[in-house]
């Protein structure tokens, strides 16, 4: 080998040897000399995993106007650190003080079971519930022999034994600590395995800033930005919209296998509940690196959250506002007009507006209403909590939380008469032009004397169906109903969906009742009599329907016999804009003769357009005709309480687009409810409101309350 080349080879080998020695020295230094230091440092850095809450889907009206949205808020979580029990209790008390100072609320699952007044007490629980809570493995997990029914004893047990608190803490301080410790207890597996536990949501920027500035005082406390639900001017739509609130213990037990945590917010009523599966998104994942003192070193999003789907409603918010304002205005007007059997006690009402060709609900108004935003408020918002208590207790019996359109039943009064007419026509008892039924002012049916309300002395004389509907003559329909028979009345009422649920996509719909031989036997253990049929034929006796059923039956008359399934959800849209689900109209065809529908429509048009029509005054000046029917029905307490006012209609009469049902509780006459429908028609068709709400004043009173 060349001498020059050999020297280069030796130099290269020497270089590798020196480099190798340096690496070995460095490894020795790291692993042996400084090994314990790095191992200890590594052990002080711990990875914690948690969820990133997914934004809840928005709720929009049919035109895209937002009703429920999200805004950015701040939440506080805690992760496990190496601090002692006493240090944790002290830190949690300090955190409670900070939140209280800044007016922020916090999670308080404990208050569902144990509250501090003072004194400490159980929160409206039975002994069985108290027992179950204490031994439940997902709750206190106590031994059977430790169970106590004395709230004070349980409080001492939790303070001294379960959570090891300093005896110098006052009861109030102990309870405030206990609230947080209980969250850690029921989330124990998640907490001890490195997960995050929610302590407070939607806290102020001031609280977040102080925690970050004084992080050494709050070991393990982590701040997160998260979406917060917000409702926009939702008073009018509250019953349709519903609200969200912290999941309760029963819901958690039912849904925990579906991935719900006991601190989740969940839809409780309305669309927020019925569309929960669409609105709820999929949470993301985040990893935190913290030191032994709980200080955040690094945050890494490992899976982005997937937002919930947006739900577009069929509701027209402008039309909804008009309906609510008209209800409030006309109820006040009725209270101040003390003519007839009016005790000045009208105080509530409801309106439903349907698209007659699809069953889409354009308006669903229930008055009085409530502000769903109060259910988003934390426990520190005493004003909101007081409003919730007042709504729940309902000492004025206004039932503001009740969606009257689907959860309240009303006797329909004379708005049922088109059903009696249909039954008589289909059975052949009458024809559209026959005048074989004569009103003489009085008649005797089944041993009972019945009277014509308008002309009790000499009556209306021979009446056609059109004239019978126009004047709403009770004697005409008494006779028609008795001739037709209860079986036919029951059959045709069922065909039009009266007395059974419509199947609308909202929770807690009630079915109502349709009078029948079987129902009387069940309720009164009595036989059926002809006078019962007479009362059923004018919408009394056990007839009791929801405003939605009345509107849907009216729509079926308007469109020629198609009974649609009403719906408030138009479509569901994914966050990327694609359509997840769109509600397609579904209906049942009612087996009616065209001549039957035509005859009933003619009579309903006469109600609003002829000089003797019971609702003629309210619809004066319209550029088209409206088909309607007024109704008045006595409430269960006859003396000292005004009858309900009921009105149904569709418009335009010759080419129907919408059907409307209005109920005003203690509204006296159906004609008093008609102006609300007029206001809605004016708004829907873009007409001037001048002249609306004039109100027809023809009284229509039931004869007696069976």
Query: HEC string of 210-271?
Result: HHHHCHHHCCCEEEEEEEEEEECCCCCCHHHHCCEEECCHHHHHHHHHHCCCCCCEEECCHH
Which pLDDT does position 412 carry in this prediction? 97
Cα–Cα distance between 361 and 657 in angstroms, integer? Answer: 12
Contacts of 401 (CB under 8 A, 6+ apart): 269, 370, 391, 392, 394
Which pLDDT does position 40 carry in this prediction? 46
What CATH code would you report for 317-371+401-684?
3.40.710.10
Q: What is the pLDDT of residues 133-182, one digit of tens each?
A: 999 877 898 999 999 999 999 999 999 999 999 999 999 999 999 999 99
Residue 3 has pLDDT above 50, yes or no: yes
Cα–Cα distance between 299 and 47 in angstroms, integer? Answer: 10
pTM metric for this prediction: 0.85
Cα–Cα distance between 293 and 216 in angstroms, integer? Answer: 8
The residue among 530, 531, 493, 525 whose CA lies nearest residue 512 is: 493
Which pLDDT does position 28 carry in this prediction? 57
- Range scoring the smallest mean pLDDT among 19-28, 153-162, 477-486: 19-28
Q: pLDDT band for 291, please (50, 70, 90 cuts).
A: confident
Which pLDDT does position 355 carry in this prediction? 98
Which pLDDT does position 706 carry in this prediction? 24
Q: What is the pLDDT of residues 543-601, one digit of tens each?
A: 999 999 999 999 999 999 999 999 999 999 999 999 999 999 999 999 999 999 999 99
Which pLDDT does position 654 carry in this prediction? 95
Q: pLDDT band for 703, please (50, 70, 90 cuts).
A: very low
Give residue 147's region: left, alpha or beta (phi > 0; psi -120 to 50).
beta
Q: How many CB atoms lie within 10 A of CB 104?
A: 20
Q: What is the pLDDT of residues 203-230, one digit of tens each?
A: 999 999 999 999 889 999 999 999 999 9
Q: Which token pair is 600?
A: 């009933």
Helices 486-495 and 530-537 pack at an angle, to 10 degrees, of: 30
Q: What is the pLDDT of residues 305-360, one digit of tens each?
A: 999 999 999 999 999 999 999 999 999 999 998 777 888 999 999 999 999 999 99
Where along the chain do its domains lie?
3-43, 47-313, 317-371+401-684
Q: Which of the pair, 690 or 622, is modelled with greater confidence?
A: 622
With a pLDDT cut of 70, the percent of the chain lying above it is 89
The residue among 666, 628, 665 whose CA lies nearest residue 647 is: 628
Q: Which token pair is 115?
A: 């509250």
Q: What is the rounded average pLDDT of the residues 396-424?
A: 95
Which pLDDT does position 704 carry in this prediction? 26
Which pLDDT does position 55 carry in this prediction? 95
Which pLDDT does position 117 carry in this prediction? 83
Q: How many CB atoms lie within 10 A of CB 392?
A: 8
Helix (H, G, I), strand (E, B) or coil at 378: coil
- What is residue 365's DSSP assignment? E
The answer to whether the CB of 100 falls within 8 A of the CB of 380 is yes
∠ CA(375), CA(378), CA(379), 5° rounding? 110
Q: What is the pLDDT of residues 615-674, one digit of tens each?
A: 889 999 999 999 999 999 876 545 578 999 999 999 999 999 999 999 999 999 999 999
Q: What is the rounded average pLDDT of the residues 372-400?
A: 85
The residue among 629, 638, 640, 641 whose CA lies nearest residue 706 is: 638
Which pLDDT does position 380 carry in this prediction? 67
How many helices and strands in the chain, by DSSP H and E? Answer: 24, 25
Residue 253 has pLDDT above 90, yes or no: no
The count of C-alpha atoms lying within 13 angstroms of the C-alpha of 154, restricted to the half-sphere facing its C-beta, is 25
Backbone angles phi, psi at 619, to 5 degrees: -115, 20
Cα–Cα distance between 101 and 206 in angstroms, integer? Answer: 10
Helices 317-336 and 674-684 pack at an angle, to 10 degrees, of: 150
- E strand or H helix that includes residue 107: none
Residue 370 has pLDDT above 80, yes or no: yes
Give Cα separations from 94 to 161, 201, 379 (angstroms). Answer: 21, 17, 18
Which pLDDT does position 371 carry in this prediction? 95
* Average pLDDT of the residues of the chain: 89
The count of C-alpha atoms lying within 13 angstroms of the C-alpha of 369, restricted to the half-sphere facing its C-beta, is 27
Going 20 to 25 to 27 to 28, the CA torsion angle's sign is positive
Residue 6 has pLDDT above 80, yes or no: no
∠ CA(498), CA(452), CA(676), 5° rounding? 50
Answer yes or no: CATH 3.60.90.10 is held by domain 47-313: no
Indicate the burial class of 659 (C-beta count within 10 angstroms; 0-12, 13-18, 19 or more). buried
């Amino acid at each position: 080998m060349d001498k020059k080349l050999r020297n280069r080879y030796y130099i290269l080998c020497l270089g590798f040897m020196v480099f190798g020695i340096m690496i070995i020295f460095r490894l020795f230094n790291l692993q042996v000399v400084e090994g314990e230091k790095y191992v200890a440092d590594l052990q002080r850095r711990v990875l914690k995993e948690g969820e990133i809450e997914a934004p809840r889907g928005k709720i929009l009206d049919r035109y895209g106007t937002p009703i429920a949205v999200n805004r950015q808020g701040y939440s506080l979580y805690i992760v496990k650190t190496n601090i002692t029990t006493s240090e944790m209790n002290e830190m949690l008390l300090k955190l409670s003080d900070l939140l209280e100072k800044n007016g922020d609320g916090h999670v308080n699952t404990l208050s569902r079971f144990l509250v501090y007044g003072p004194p400490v007490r159980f929160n409206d629980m039975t002994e069985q519930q108290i027992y179950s809570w204490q031994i439940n493995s997902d709750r206190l997990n106590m031994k059977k022999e430790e169970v106590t029914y004395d709230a004070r004893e349980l409080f001492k047990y939790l303070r001294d034994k379960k959570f090891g608190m300093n005896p110098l803490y006052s009861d109030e301080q102990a309870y405030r600590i206990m609230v947080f410790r209980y969250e850690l207890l029921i989330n124990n597996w998640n907490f001890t395995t490195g997960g995050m536990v929610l302590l407070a949501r939607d806290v102020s920027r001031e609280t977040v800033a102080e925690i970050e500035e004084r992080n050494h005082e709050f070991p393990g406390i982590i701040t997160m930005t998260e979406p917060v639900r917000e409702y926009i001017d939702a008073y009018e739509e509250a019953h349709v919209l519903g609200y969200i609130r912290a999941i309760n213990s029963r819901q958690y037990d039912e849904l925990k296998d579906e991935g719900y945590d006991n601190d989740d917010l969940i839809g409780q009523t309305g669309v927020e509940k019925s569309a929960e599966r669409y609105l709820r998104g999929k949470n993301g994942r985040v990893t935190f690196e913290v030191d032994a003192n709980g200080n955040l070193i690094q945050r890494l999003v490992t899976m982005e959250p997937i937002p919930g789907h947006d739900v577009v409603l069929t509701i027209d918010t402008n039309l909804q506002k008009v309906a609510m304002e008209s209800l409030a205005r006309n109820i006040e007007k009725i209270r101040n007009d003390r003519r007839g059997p009016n005790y000045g006690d009208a105080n509530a009402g409801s309106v439903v507006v349907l698209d007659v060709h699809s069953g889409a609900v354009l308006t669903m108004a229930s008055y009085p209403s409530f502000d769903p935003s109060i259910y988003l408020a934390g426990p520190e918002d005493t004003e909101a909590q007081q409003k919730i208590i007042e709504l729940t207790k309902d000492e004025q019996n206004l039932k503001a939380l009740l969606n009257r359109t689907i959860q309240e039943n009303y006797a329909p009064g004379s708005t049922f008469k088109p059903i009696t007419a249909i039954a008589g026509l289909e059975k052949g008892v009458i024809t559209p032009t026959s005048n074989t039924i004569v009103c003489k002012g009085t008649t005797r049916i089944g041993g009972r004397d019945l009277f014509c309300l308008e002309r009790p002395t000499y009556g209306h004389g021979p009446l056609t169906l059109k004239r019978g509907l126009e004047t709403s003559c009770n004697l005409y329909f008494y006779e028609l109903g008795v001739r037709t028979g209860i079986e036919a009345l029951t059959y045709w009422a069922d065909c039009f969906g009266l007395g059974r649920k419509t199947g609308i996509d909202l929770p807690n719909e009630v079915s109502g009742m349709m009078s029948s031989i079987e129902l009387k036997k069940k309720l009164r253990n009595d036989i059926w009599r002809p006078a019962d049929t007479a009362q059923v034929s004018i919408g009394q006796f056990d007839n009791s329907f929801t405003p939605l059923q009345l509107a849907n039956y009216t729509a079926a008359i308007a469109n020629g016999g198609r009974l649609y399934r009403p719906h408030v959800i138009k479509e569901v849209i994914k966050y990327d804009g694609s359509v997840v689900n769109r509600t397609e109209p579904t209906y049942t065809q009612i087996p009616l003769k065209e001549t039957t529908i035509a005859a009933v429509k003619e009579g309903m048009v006469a109600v609003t357009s002829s000089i003797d029509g019971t609702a003629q005054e309210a619809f004066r000046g319209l550029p088209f005709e409206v088909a309607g029917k007024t109704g008045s029905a006595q409430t269960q307490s006859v003396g000292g309480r005004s009858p309900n006012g009921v009105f149904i209609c569709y418009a335009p009469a010759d080419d129907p687009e919408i059907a409307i049902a209005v109920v005003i509780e203690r509204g006296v006459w159906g004609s008093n409810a008609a102006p609300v429908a007029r206001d809605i028609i004016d708004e829907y068709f873009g007409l001037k409101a001048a002249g609306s709400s004039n109100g027809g004043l023809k009284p229509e009173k039931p004869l007696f309350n069976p």
